[in-house]
Amino acid sequence: MASRRHTLLVNQVMAVMIQNRSFDAQLAASTNQPWTLDLVSDILRSIPNFFFQSPRSIGRQMGFRHRAPLKQRHLNVESHKFRKNVLVLGPAAYRDPQRVKLGLDKAMEFFNWVETYFGFAHDEITCREMACVLARGSRLKGLWVFLKEMSRRDGEKLVSTSSVTCLIKVLGEEGLVNEALDVFYGMKRFRCKQDVYAYNTVIYALCRVGNFKKARFLLEQMELPGFRCPPDTYTYTILISSYCKYGMQTGCRKAIRRRLWEANHLFRIMLFKGLVPDVVAYNCLIDGCCKTYRIERALELFEDMNKRGCLPNRVTYNSFIRYYSAVNETDKAVEMMRSMQKMNHGMPTSSSYTPIIHALCEAGRVLEARDFLIELVDGGSVPREYTYKLVCDALNSAGEANLLDNELNKRVKDGIDKRCRQVMKLKPIMSRKKVL
């Protein structure tokens, strides 16, 4: 009951903001709500979802991953494009500038309203949420003014190192990496000390836009003798994974090899310093080696992984499965998947079965491909429409179309249609081909 009331109050405040009603004394007189820290924080946290998202973003996959490589944004260029009705790409694509401005104005108005009319005492959490709203709305001048004002309040620690680190993370996610770097170097203005988490956050933001030169400079600074923020395992893991991912996005083979060499070099430095690599670092290196056909190095890393007691997971095995399927060594791919099941290192899903099924169909081993398709469906996964059609066409060509019974066909088609309907509810303008 309390949770429903909490959600109702958040929606009511959002409705006031969307209707552009003023937060004034009249509204305060008609409000008998005791404002809590959780309620104010949830309201501020909900503003980007209502005002900063484009209609095309409804139903998008939630997470930190971007389909395209993130690039440094230039706000002056974006504002010029908005005025000229030119398409803006990146995190600000398809945003409505007027709606963003309304959300920012109402957020600041609400922030001051609860403090002025209700005597609400803002703390570090509410100030952090307000700063994140300004960052997501790209109002950087207002962000600096807000941070300076909050840091000057006597007797209250409203701007802390963790809050600024969270702000750097948000700016990095929005593609404002240079601005995140300015905030990182300006932490002393707010009487905050840089720690290893702040360094890791800004290094990750720099790596996402491909600025490895500046990221390595910060790492070298952390590696200096006696430095108060020495790098940890996560620092090296960020750079290793970024080198591997960014290298594979490069079209030049020489550049790919250079990036992977840098990743392996950092991995050896991490071992030399006595740091224990985690499964993410191993997975990134193994995936990069498999995609560049350096299978010997990948197997060496896999063996080292087991020796150090770092348990591999499904991501680790899928890298080998994709490699062996691509080079037509399907039996070894099947062996890796069976090993994963036997060692209880993960349950195979559609991403594990699909490369094997495709390789078997290309090799003419249709009956085995059918068996793996049945095993995939029995495991509770739904194959992609292309994979299912590939097996059906291969069976028809071999004159074995009756090997797939009607019950299996119905289960697969029902699963594909259900997945299609779920997405079409959120994005009705998308075509069936795009969904699948």
Contact 180, 172 (CB under 8 A): yes
Domain count, the chain: 2
Shared-domain flag, residues 79 and 204: yes
Residue 415 lies in a domain: no
pLDDT at 377: 87
Shared-domain flag, residues 166 and 194: yes
- CA–CA gap between residue 245 and residue 238 (Å, rounded): 11
Shared-domain flag, residues 153 and 301: no
Q: What is the CATH number of the domain that holds 126?
A: 1.25.40
Shared-domain flag, residues 183 and 92: yes
Averaged pLDDT for residues 123-148: 93
Residue 119 lies in a domain: yes
How far is CA 246 from each of CA 208, 235, 292, rounded to the nearest angstrom?
8, 17, 13
> How much of the chain, in percent, has pLDDT values that exceed 90?
51
Residue 407 lies in a domain: no
Shared-domain flag, residues 245 and 294: yes
Shared-domain flag, residues 106 and 125: yes
Residue with tokens 């594979």: 248
Contacts of 298 (CB under 8 A, 6+ apart): 285, 286, 289, 290, 319, 320, 323
The last residue of one of the domains, among 207, 228, 249, is: 228
Averaged pLDDT for residues 351-369: 91
- CA–CA gap between residue 13 and residue 240 (Å, rounded): 44
For residue 25, how many other CB atoms are within 10 A of its CB? Answer: 11
Residue 369's region, left for phi above 0, alpha for psi from -120 to 50, else beta, is alpha
Residue 382's region, left for phi above 0, alpha for psi from -120 to 50, else beta, is beta
Residue 1 lies in a domain: no
The last residue of one of the domains, among 278, 306, 334, is: 306
Shared-domain flag, residues 129 and 275: no
Tell me the residue range of the domain where 96 lies. 12-20+34-54+69-228
pLDDT tops 90 at residue 408: no
User: What would the pLDDT profile of 236-270 be if each residue is shown by its tens digit?
Assistant: 999 999 998 877 776 677 888 888 899 999 999 99
Shared-domain flag, residues 50 and 141: yes
Shared-domain flag, residues 43 and 139: yes
Contact 330, 363 (CB under 8 A): yes
Residue 410 lies in a domain: no
| Helix, coil or strand: residue 58 | coil
Residue 147 lies in a domain: yes
Shared-domain flag, residues 50 and 129: yes
pLDDT at 398: 79
Shared-domain flag, residues 192 and 174: yes
> How much of the chain, in percent, has pLDDT values that exceed 70?
92
The last residue of one of the domains, among 212, 228, 244, is: 228
Per-residue tokens: 413: 């088609």
Q: How far apart are the first and last CA of the chain?
A: 40
Shared-domain flag, residues 82 and 188: yes
pLDDT at 433: 41
Q: What is the pTM of this model?
A: 0.85
